[in-house]
Structure 1
Amino acid sequence: MRPVVSAHSQSSTVPALHLPATAAQPSPFATGAAPTMSSREIADLVEKRHDNVKRTIETLVERGVIVRPQFEDEHSTDALGRSRTERVYRIGKRDSYVIVAQLSPEFTARLVDRWQELETQASRPALPANYAAALRELASTVEVVEQQQALISEQQPKVEFYDQFVKADGLLGYQEAGTAAGCYPNKFCNWLKIDHLFYRGKKLMPRSQFVRRGLFEIRPELDADGESHLRGWVTAKGVEHFAKHAPDNIRITSREVKP
């Protein structure tokens, strides 16, 4: 009876920096593909000869019960020093259960345990194969972190701007919007009247082209008598736009801002 091969039966020595001293053997899930089990592993699990397991696999493929598996040729040397090549199939999870059920259904529990080991290994992050690979991975990680930090620095003024001035609904009155845009409120309103606003009765309303651009919104509101009237509001997008494009002569200079 062959001993059952366990994923934990082999040990490896890991030097400083927690990197393997030599390149690891190719893993069927190193590239993120679904884990597979070799036909040799299945033979060990069910305590059958490998050639018998392969014949069973080929028979099931011919009958259309399982898909045709991928394979790899393993090269080895026998006890007499002769070179030999043996084909080894890579089997997916579903088909492995079909094969074991055909060969030795009493060993299904062993198969379940082995798949748990394989899937646990597949979920672990792979260590770099050698020191050069580790250095390349470190350099790549540093570059990504630097790019993220640069993006955060670029976006931070905009985030602080919105947090400070924009209400929960994202709308501000004309004078509030002027203050948020760093302008004198009254001068800001007079500047808006030149091009962006017009009077409808006694109400200043935004022109339709600027509403379509998302700089303003028009919403109804109730007056003290309970009557509904339309009123224009500056959107968060509008505040940002005016903060960039308002003329210098209506802006509050830094010397005029009290600490």
Structure 2
Amino acid sequence: MKINNQLALVDFPKAYIFEGEQGKRDSIIVVAQLSPEFTARLVDRWRELENARVQLKSKAEILAEMAQMHLEHERRINAVNAQVAEVSAQVSMVAETLEQIKKGNIPEGYIGYRQLAAKCGLTEAKCRNLVNAFRIPTDTHEFLTPDGLLARRSIVALVPFRKAFKQVMSEAEPRNKRWYHPKMGMFQAIHHPVPESPKDNLSLHTVREKIRTGYATVCRRSSWPEGIWVWPEGGSRKHWRTIRDGKIHAIDLAPEDVIAMDWIVS
């Protein structure tokens, strides 16, 4: 159905359609032209719909959103604090490591080859020989030179080295002014001089105790040839050792040796 536009005050379409979706729109336009009250109600309804889109949130909704924002803010602060603490710990660890490197601090229980040689009287080369022969634990120590350069040096576990050195000296054979050991070859130990002459006439028990406590390395009877030296294995009363042809051998003491009083120690 069509109706002609008879009003010339406004430039409206010449004809309106009142069927279908287009008819709904044209019907509202025609009624709005004829009824100001309808137009006013239409405008009011349109404004209500527009205002509904921008209607302010309720107080409860605002408080809920504020609480959620506060929780999120707290979570971010805690995460940042955790990261700061982790970075601070890493920085402290690095600073401590750098300080140790600057000072040249050696881990507890370890010692450098130079200091080791000064303590036992061996050369640095013989110290390395002993370390390799007895598989003594080693490590690498980093330090700063006076020029500020990073350098490295080998360090040795002190207690195992002392134990191995004591074993070597208990097994070594004196030769002129030096010592001989199958694993060490010929070497000189400043703090363990080769015996030159008898010191005392002692009982076997006394010399064994001296060797066991580290005050002597080898012993013999004064009636024996000068090249024959013996020592108790680990301070034992029965098991004794000696060196023949550059090798360590077990030796049995005769009954008269056990009761003799002419023992001498190195």
State TM-score, norm by structure 1: 0.22
Structure of greater Rg: 2
State TM-score, norm by structure 2: 0.22
Higher relative contact order structure (alpha carbons within 8 Å, sequence separation ≥ 6)? 1
